[in-house]
């Protein structure tokens, strides 16, 4: 995404952490499946990397599903 002039914006996409259904090779779709312990760890590590890279977010958008919300809030 680019704005006029030298003011450049970036868009980042992050997938949710691991769910039980991911482990079982099932597709979650719109089913509200929670993160596993590893999924929470993955979300925390992703958050740390975002901070390390000094990525500043104007807006964070996420699905209302618990796995997406939990990932975004870590």
> What are the structural domain ranges in the chain?
20-73
pTM over 0.95: no
pLDDT at 25 over 70: yes
The residues, ordered by sequence, that sit 6+ positions from 58 with a Cβ below 8 Å of its Cβ are none
The pLDDT assigned to 7 comes to 80
The pLDDT assigned to 38 comes to 98
| Residue 68, CA distances (Å) to 4, 8, 53, 58 in order | 32, 27, 22, 18
The band of 9, judged by pLDDT with boundaries at 50, 70 and 90, is confident
């Amino acid at each position: 995404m680019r704005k006029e002039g030298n003011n450049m914006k970036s868009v980042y996409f992050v997938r949710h952490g691991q769910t039980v259904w991911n482990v079982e090779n099932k597709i979650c779709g719109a089913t509200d499946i929670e993160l596993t312990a590893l999924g929470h760890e993955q979300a925390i590590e992703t958050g740390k990397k975002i901070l390390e890279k000094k990525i500043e977010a104007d807006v964070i958008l996420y699905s209302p599903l618990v796995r997406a919300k939990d990932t975004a809030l870590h």
